[in-house]
Structure 1
Amino acid sequence: MVGNVPVGSNHPVAVQSMINEDTMDIPAAVAGIRRLADAGCEIVRVTTPSLSHARAMGHIRQQLRDAGCTVPLVADVHHNGVKIALAAAQHVDKVRINPGLFVFDKPDPDRQSFSPAEFSAAAARIRNALRPLVELLKEQNKALRIGVNHGSLAERMVFTHGDTPQGMAESAMEFIRICAEMDFHNVVVSMKASRTSVMLAAYRLVADAMDAEGFDYPLHLGVTEAGDGDYGRIKSTAGIATLLAEGLGDTVRVSLTEAPEREIPVGFSILQSLGLRKTMVEYVACPSCGRTLFNLEDVLKQVRAATAHLTGLDIAVMGCIVNGPGEMADADYGYVGKAAGTICLYRGREEIRVVPESEGVEALVALIKEDGCWVDP
C-alpha cells in the first residue's frame, strides 16, 4: 500500500506524477498537488532536498487533509539523504531514494578501479545508512521506492558494471537485498533512463534478477526526461506500454516537460489502450478513405465533445457501411455512414435507427440516454 492506494499484485496499475512547485512555498505546493489530484493523479511525489523541505511536508499534508484531499504523498530524496528521509517519512506515505546518491561520495577523477575491499566497505556504509530508514518505514507501515536513475549511478557501480542497464540492475538489487535482510517488503522499484532502450533493458534485467532471488516487488515505470509534445508522449508510451504488455509494471509516470497535470491523461490512455484500466470513453474510428460519406474528422470531434465525460463506453465512428459494422463489433455504440446525408446508429451489432446526418450526434446521445448509460457532465 502507498497511503490508501494498493500497489502490485492484481490491483489496478496506478498513475502518478510530481509537482514542480517549490516545496518551501507551502500554498503553491498544496495547490499543485490538488491540481494533480483533481486531474486523476493517484500518487503525488514532492521533492525534499533538505531538512527544511522535509519538515514542510508536514504542513503540506495537513493543509491537504484539511481540504479533504487524501492523495498519497511521496518524498523524493537524493544526495546523502539519510536524515532528510527520516524527517520526511513522518509526513508522507512513501519515501523515494536514489541508490546512486543516497550515500554519496564525490567521484575521484584519478581513480582507476575499485578493489573488492573498497566495494565491500561502501556496501557496508550503505547498509548502515539505510537501516534506520527501513526500520522507521517498517514501524509506520510505509513504503520505500528504490529509484535507480541511469544518469546517477554510483561510481563503484560504473567501475564494476559500466554505465549500463546491468549496472542499474545491480544498484537496485543491492538495496533490495538489504531490505529483505531486514524483513521489509513494502518496496517499489524503478529503473528510469532518458533513453527508452536503456530503460527497457534495465527493467527486464531487474525483473529477472528479482525473480531469480525470490523477490516479487512492484515496479514503477517511466522514461525520465522524455521531453514535451507528441515526441515526449510517444517516447514514454514506447517504454511504458512495452513493459506493461510484457506483464511488468504496477505504477506509471509519463514525465513531460509540461504542466504535471498534462501527464495524467497520457498515463490513463496508455493503460486503457492495453485494456488495463477503463477510465474514459474508448473511441473507435476509421482513418477515412474515398468511401467515407461524411467529414469523419469533424464528426468524431462532435461525438467526442458530446460524450467525452462518460466513463467505460466504447463508441465507434465509422465512415461507411462496408467495414463499419464489422470493425466496430466490440463497441457499445456505433455511428456509421449509410448513404450520403444518412447515419445508422448501432447498439453493439444491432442497427437501431437511421437518422439524417444533421441529427446524428443528438440521436446518438438520445440512444445512450435510453439505455441508462448517460450521466450529465
Structure 2
Amino acid sequence: MQTLATPTTTSNNTFNQPNIDTTIKRRKTRPVKVGDVTIGGSSPVVVQSMINEDTLDIDASVAAIRRLHEIGCEIVRVTVPSIAHAKALAEIKQKLIKTYRDVPLVADIHHNGMKIALEVAKHIEKVRINPGLYVFEKPDANRTEYTSAEFDEIGDKIRETLEPLVISLRDQGKAMRIGVNHGSLAERMLFTYGDTPEGMVESALEFIRICESLDFRNIVISMKASRVPVMLAAYRLMAKRMDDLGMDYPLHLGVTEAGDGEYGRIKSTAGIATLLAEGIGDTIRVSLTEAPEKEIPVCYSILQALGMRKTMVEYVACPSCGRTLFNLEEVLHKVREATKHLTGLDIAVMGCIVNGPGEMADADYGYVGKNPGYISLYRGREEIKKVPEDRGVKELINLIKADGRWVDP
C-alpha cells in the first residue's frame, strides 16, 4: 500500500501580492463507511478499481484484489452475476483475511438482482446496483408513452424489490452505490425524460428516496457516461439537485468505457479532473480497457496534479528551447530515477536561468542550467551551490540529505 503524504499549500508573498488560496474546495458530503475506508466527509478522494477475473475462480480473484490493493487501490469492485458468484465472494473475503488482509469490496449487481444482492450483502461491505437494470423493464416496440399509473406501478415494484436489500444493508451498517449509467436507463425514464442527464438524475433520485424512507443514508451516487460532456452535465445536475433537496451524498466519478492507451487516459482525465476541480467528487475510478493495475497510476496522477493527494514526487520541468544548456529530457530522467521514491517533495529541473527561479518558486529543490557545463542547485528560491554538470544529480542528493529529507529507496 502506498504511503500518502498530506498535500501542503505554499504561497510566496515576496512581491507583497495578496495571498490567494489555491486549494480546491470540495462539496460538503456525508461520510460513508466502506469497511475501514471512508468516502466523503473530510476524507481524501478514494481510489477504486475493478478486477476482471471470474468471481468463481477464488484464487485468481484473491490474487487480483491483492495486486490492486498493494499498489494503492483502496476499494475493489467484483462482478456478481449469479448466486453462485455471490457465495464465491464469501470465500474470497475469507481467503483475503486469512492470507493478506481485509480489503473493502463492492459487489456489482445487475439484472433482476434482488436475490443475488441479498446473498452478497452478507459477505462484503458495499453493494452497487444499477437503477436501469435492478428491476428490468422489457422494452415494448409498440409503446408510445407511459401513463402515470404505469410509471407508478413500476415504481412500486422497484420499492418492493429494493426494500429488503436496503433493510439488510442498513441493519448491518453497510453501504450502497446507486450507479446510474447513461447507456442503460430504464425504458420509462427514457420515455419520460429522454436519453438525457435529467433522466439519469431522476433515476438516481427515485432510488435515493426509497432508501431515505427506510432511514438508510449510507449511499454513494454515480452518474457515468461514455461521452464526457454527458458525464459532466449529469454529475453537475445531480450535485445541484441534491443541494436543492438538502441531500449530501458522496459522488463516485468515472467516464465509463473510456477505452485504452493515451486517449482513454485523456478522456477519463477530462471528465474526472474537470469535476474534481469544481469541488465535485469523493471517489474515482479510471475505466481502461487494460489490466486494472494500469488504472491506479492514472487516478493518483489526476489527484496529485490537482493537489488533492500526494503519492509521488512532483516534478516541475520546462519544455526545453534554444536557451537550454543541457539535454533536459535526459537530465530529468536521471533526476527522476534518483529521487522518485521521495514522496512529498517537489523538484524542479529547468534548462536555463530565464524561467528557472521564477517558474520553480514553489519547488523544494531546483536543478537549473545557469552556465554552460555547470548546474545551479536551489533550495526554494535560494541558490545553494554551483557544481559541474556531471556531478549535478549526486550533489542534489547530497543537498536533500543535508536537509534531513532523504530516505533510502
TM-score in terms of structure 2 length: 0.91
SS in 1 for 2:38: coil
Runs of 4+ in 1 over 3 A off after TM superposition: none
> How do residues 72-151 of structure 1 correspond to structure 2 at under 5 angstroms?
72-151=104-183
Per-residue deviation, 1:67: 2.0
1:308-340 CA deviation, whole Å, 9 max, x = no partner? 122111000000111101110100011100111
Pairing partner for 1:261 from 279, 283, 293: 293
For 1:213-236, what per-residue CA distance to the aligned partner results, in whole angstroms no more than 9, with x for missing partners?
Answer: 111000000000001111111100
For the residues of structure 1 that align with 2:56 and 2:230, how far apart are their CA atoms?
34
Cα deviation, 1:98-129, whole Å, max 9, x if unaligned, reads 00000112211121111100000000011111
| Matched position secondary structure for 2:131 | coil
Task: Give % identity.
Answer: 72
Give, in angstroms, the shift of residue 68 of structure 1: 2.7
- Three-state SS of the structure 2 residue aligned to 1:315 is strand
Q: 2:150 is paired with a residue of what secondary structure? A: helix
Q: Between 90-99 and 104-113, report the one with greater CA deviation.
A: 104-113
Amino acid across the alignment from 1:374: W
Q: CA–CA distance in 2 between the matches of 1:322 and 1:205?
A: 45
Partner of 2:245: 213
1:155-194 alignment runs, 5 A limit: 155-194=187-226
What is aligned with 1:278?
310
> Following TM superposition, by how much is the alpha carbon of 1:209 offset from its aligned partner in structure 2, in angstroms?
1.1
RMSD: 0.8
Determine helix, strand or coil for the equivalent of 2:39. coil
The alignment partner of 2:270 has SS state of helix
Q: 1:300 is matched with which residue? A: 332
Structural mapping, 1:18-37, within 5 Å? 18-37=50-69
In structure 2, what is the Cα distance between the partners aligned to 1:20 and 1:372? 43
Structure 1 counterpart of 2:367, from 325, 335, 340: 335
Letter in 1 for 2:69: A
User: Is contact 2:67-2:293 (8 Å) kept?
Assistant: yes
Letter in 1 for 2:325: L
Secondary structure of 2:34's match?
A: coil
Rounded to whole Å, the distance in 2 between the matches of 1:50 and 1:369 is 56
TM-score in terms of structure 1 length: 0.99
Residue by residue over 1:259-279, the C-alpha shift from the partner in whole angstroms, topping out at 9 and shown as x without a partner, is 101100110111111111111
Quote the Cα distance in structure 2 between the aligned partners of 1:80 and 1:43: 25
Query: Are 1:370 and 2:399 matched, yes or no?
Result: no
What is the CA–CA distance in structure 2 between the aligned matches of 1:355 and 1:62, rounded to whole Å?
Answer: 57
CA shift, 1:70, in A, is 2.6
Structure 2 counterpart SS, 1:239: helix
Corresponding position: 1:310 with 2:342:
yes
SS across alignment from 1:70: coil
1 CA distance for matches of 2:349 and 2:55? 46
Residue identity matched to 1:252: I
* Equivalent position to 1:241, from 254, 273, 285: 273
Check the 8 A contact 2:48/2:75 in 1, yes or no: yes
Q: Which structure 2 residues correspond to residues 24-63 of structure 1 after superposition, within 5 A?
A: 24-63=56-95
Q: 2:321 aligns with which of 276, 289, 298?
A: 289
Aligned counterparts of 1:364 and 1:22: Cα–Cα separation in 2: 48
The gaps in structure 1 that reach 5 residues or longer are: none
Letter in 2 for 1:52: A
Q: Hey, what's the Cα distance between the residues in 1 that align with 2:123 and 2:291?
A: 25
